[in-house]
Amino acid sequence: MKTAKPFLKWAGGKSQLINEIENSLPQDFKKKEFTFIEPFVGSGAVMFWMLNKYPNIKKAVINDINTDLTNTYITIRNNVREVIEQLDEWQSQYHQFINDSDARKEYYYKKRALFNTRESGNVEQSSLFIFLNRTCFNGLYRVNKSNGFNVPIGSYKTPLICDEENLLVVSKLLEKVEILNGDFEDTMFHVDKDTFFYFDPPYKPLSNTSSFNSYAKDEFNDNEQIRLRDFCEKLNTNEHYWMLSNSDVKGKNPNDNFFDDLYSNFNINRVQARRSINANPDKRGKLNELLITNYTTEAEYAKAI
């Protein structure tokens, strides 16, 4: 059977960090049953990988503040056939305009305007979410202060809008996932005795022009980063494992100790990642990111023995 993978393109998606994440799991992770919680699920690259690879995950909970996103997850889980039917129709229509850029633009912007009314039923609204993700500029999700999706059309000639095979396996996998839409702290109500959290919050920008924090209408600023650290400390006190990703601001500015100070009580690892979403191709490439944990990782344990 095909392995489920993210059905969305996503800024900051973690597919290219999977090896580093695997090496950074707790050293006893495979030895007992865990509850897996991801409070900022985004495209779900880590969630899909974890559930595919580790049958010892007995329960999975995902959350995101983005209601359009979580509704799409729920609709794919509950009504995947209807979503596939709608996307297949739109894909055929969109591909007809391959040599007519004006007609293609008109089609895209009509779909964007319809999405922003948020008056459609769950199937159509979720299908619009996927359609826009597959056809907009670089698969970027960005909204304005009024929560209006405002990304322009992309330049893809024949984008894969309806990936039927993957959507079917995603739907099957999501049957065992609880899907929440709220603040990251609310996930505390879903912990079990052995719980592993993976945090992938909106990254602290490396510069004034590199922010993707307009992912939601409310900005995830430094105060929110501090609130997340406080939540991680609470989880640590309650003996729950957690791993957190974020940007390495110190790599951009050696005097910027924001995260080094914030997480000074925990293990901070710098790993190489590839950024693929940038308007300027010259600015795409490898750079360091942070993987922060509150436990001894499998890699560290292997070195010690």
- Give 252's Cβ-side CA count (13 Å radius): 15
Q: Do residues 104 and 242 lie in contact, with contact meaning Cβ atoms separated by under 8 Å?
A: no
CATH 1.10.1020.10 domain locations along the chain? 69-165
**Quick check: 284 pLDDT over 60?**
no
Q: Is residue 250 part of an annotated ligand binding site?
A: no
Cα separation of 160 and 91, whole Å?
8
Q: Is residue 28 part of an annotated ligand binding site?
A: no
180-232 per-position pLDDT tens digit: 999 999 999 999 999 999 999 999 988 765 554 466 667 899 999 999 999 99
**Quick check: 50 pLDDT over 90?**
yes
Which whole number is the average pLDDT over 256-261? 96
Residue 275 forms beta bridges with which residues? 285
pLDDT of residue 207: 73
pLDDT of residue 204: 93
Greater confidence (35 vs 205) lies with 35
> How many Cβ atoms from other residues are within 10 Å of residue 238's Cβ?
10
Q: What is the 3-state secondary structure (H, E, C) of 94-150?
A: HHCCCCCHHHHHHHHHHHHHHHHHCCCCHHHHHHHHHHHHHHEHHHCCCECCCCCEC
**Quick check: 280 pLDDT over 80?**
no
Q: Is the dihedral of CA 12, 14, 16, 19 positive or negative?
A: positive
Share of the chain above pLDDT 70, in %: 90
Which whole number is the average pLDDT over 85-95? 98
| Cα distance from N-terminal residue to C-terminal residue, the chain | 37
- Give 85's Cβ-side CA count (13 Å radius): 6
Name the least confident of 69-78, 118-127, 156-165, 272-281.
272-281
For the chain, give the number of residues. Answer: 305
Q: Is residue 200 part of an annotated ligand binding site?
A: yes
pLDDT of residue 12: 74
Q: Name the nearest CA neighbour of 175 among 46, 74, 39.
A: 74
pTM of the model: 0.91
Using pLDDT thresholds of 50, 70 and 90, give the confidence band for residue 246: very high
> How many Cβ atoms from other residues are within 10 Å of residue 30's Cβ?
13
Q: What is the mean pLDDT of the chain?
A: 91
Cα separation of 303 and 181, whole Å?
40
pLDDT of residue 213: 43
Architecture in CATH for domain 69-165:
Orthogonal Bundle (1.10)
Architecture in CATH for domain 17-65+182-302:
3-Layer(aba) Sandwich (3.40)
CATH 3.40.50.150 domain locations along the chain? 17-65+182-302
